[in-house]
Structure 1
Amino acid sequence: MDGLTAVHSRISEIQSRFLAPVRPTSTTAAWASAASAAGLTGAGATASPATGTASPASEQAVVSEARKYLGVPYLWGGTDPAKGLDCSGFVQLVYGNLGVDLPRTSAQQATAGTAVASLDSARPGDLVFFDHSSRPGIDHVGIYIGEGKMIAAPQAGETVKVQDVGSPTVIRRVLPAQAAAGTAPGGSLAGVPYADLFTAAGARHAVDPALLAAVASQESGFNASAVSSAGAQGLMQFMPATARGLGVNALDPASAIDGAARYLSQLSGQFGSTELALAAYNAGPGTVRRHDGIPPYPETQNYVRAVMSKAESYR
């Protein structure tokens, strides 16, 4: 396991502990305890991966990096995820981990990059700024993830979470132009069946294309005509009722991949982690809610591990 994978694994472990059925009475204490147990404390929690090489900054990289901190408690002035983050500390951390330096405060960050005319023109990874105080001036920032949603550290007593973006005062794009435009069709998935569809759907719905490819591999072995004994259909193995609910043609690869990306984006926002989203994709959202985590079913647990491993191999 390389340094980046180890850090990702640790953060996922922390999130799963934070979402466990037995919770300490203090959110901050719960997070700090889990982070300490995982060895993510102090400056080490905000350091770049052990390799010292920043990850490429792209729309998907920003959204994936931001999702790692879902559940971290809000802390005014916070820049250490083991203790807590405020809105601009969260944004600075996410972009810093990807090799993009941003100023410390939201007001300063609102001058970085280039202006985006409106929310209709916003792309995943853009910064959305707000003026919530009685005095004029920017005082809040979040990271736009598409579909009218952002990830932000809202206020005291809350945690980093996915929420409606509302009406931003200012929108700024700090990614390089080529990164904001998305990767070329196929990207790192060159040679994977339907790579262009995974890449396009991932960009539309702020989902890692490698994760979509991994789900397709695990579900159907990239067989767009597959039908399971339980009646699940197509490349992404949608049950007919789920496909109807999403408005998806399960046997059409483009429709199925787009529907799976949209569904996984919804599940990630609902449950706060990729692993729980995958568990819900496999066993159903109700089952994940009922067990308050990944269900204790070998099939589902093996499914989550297999998809995460395949996704890593596609990156």
Structure 2
Amino acid sequence: MRQQYQLHTANAIDALNNGNIDVVRMQIRLAKLAADKRLAAKRREAKQQPAIVTTIVTEEIPPASWLDKPVKRQAVGYVASSKQTMFILLMCWSCAAALVSNALPKNSPTAPPPSTLQSRSIVSGYPVEGRITSGIGWRTHPVTKVRAWHAGVDIAAPNGTPLKATGDGTVTLAAARGACGYALFIDHGTQETRMCHLSAYAQGIKAGKQVKAGDIVGYVGNTGRSTGPHVHYEVRDKQQRKIGAMAYKHLINAAAEKHGVDPLLIQAVMWKESSFNPNASSGKAHGLMQLKPSTGLEVAKRLGIKNPDLFDPATSVTLGTAYLAEMLQQFGKVELALAAYNAGPGAVKRFNGIPPYPETRNYVTKIIAKYNQLRS
């Protein structure tokens, strides 16, 4: 837990230096989770044996970057009591939290001017003026009532209000997209902007259309999973998912070696299942590898893990990889194992192959494509 705390704190500082606020938030929450678990364990030890002495030894700190090599550190022979250890962890956490909180942008009650976005950003401002009803961060979804990460800002405005492009770019999607309703995605090079819940598109707007900053591209609506006229606006860094994978490289490699699964396949599954969000939840499945609680309990029992927490990154990767290894051993082919991971082994046996469910077939196709991309 101490190593996890150190890793996530280092990743948060690296992301802060790179200006990636979303990754900073995620890593700080993971660091706090690791610190809380460490403190809880120390409190239990203190109750049982108040005079316990703990030796803090740093042998090797996992790299903060996917490409960095492990750095060997000289052991530090510092000895502290359990109370001193808790104090040190609390001080480290407080410093990291203060550092990041001072750098995070504050939400305004109305859509702010372009200057509020990162100065290095190639997009500027918001597509419409209005009241921000939900900012970036964790929230309970107003419709599904499930706690999940909200990656953009919701801006309330009258139905039919024009939406403007926030930067020069190329339209990559202008079509209905599930809960997003009528969606509009614009590629700006190193970034992508997304708008959801539109009522209509501006004339001539379709995939491949070149747009300039300030061009009217669509209109505010209430389509998809929405509770009122607004636009969900999101700016995505194209490197964000790669950074997410970097944060869990040590967990992926450890699980891959233990269970004999290609680490790139684990990464591809994690990419599809949760986009590297450790608190992702569909309501039925949770965590980085999106296991159902019943499946997680079964695998944990076989591995001798008691009371598994599927939202804990290490537990989720371990159990998810073990279950994927079981499916690979049972069905022999990667495609069938992925289908079983998604729809259950019973469905694969019943149809003697990949089940004819559109969701499952799309799931297998996307993971295989991602896996081949990572291997190339």
Structure 1 and Structure 2 fold alike (TM over 0.5):
no
**Structure having greater relative contact order (Cα 8 Å, sep ≥ 6):** 1
Greater fraction of residues in strand: 2
Q: For the pair shown, which has the larger CA radius of gyration, 1 or 2?
A: 2
Give the TM-score normalised by the residue count of structure 1.
0.38
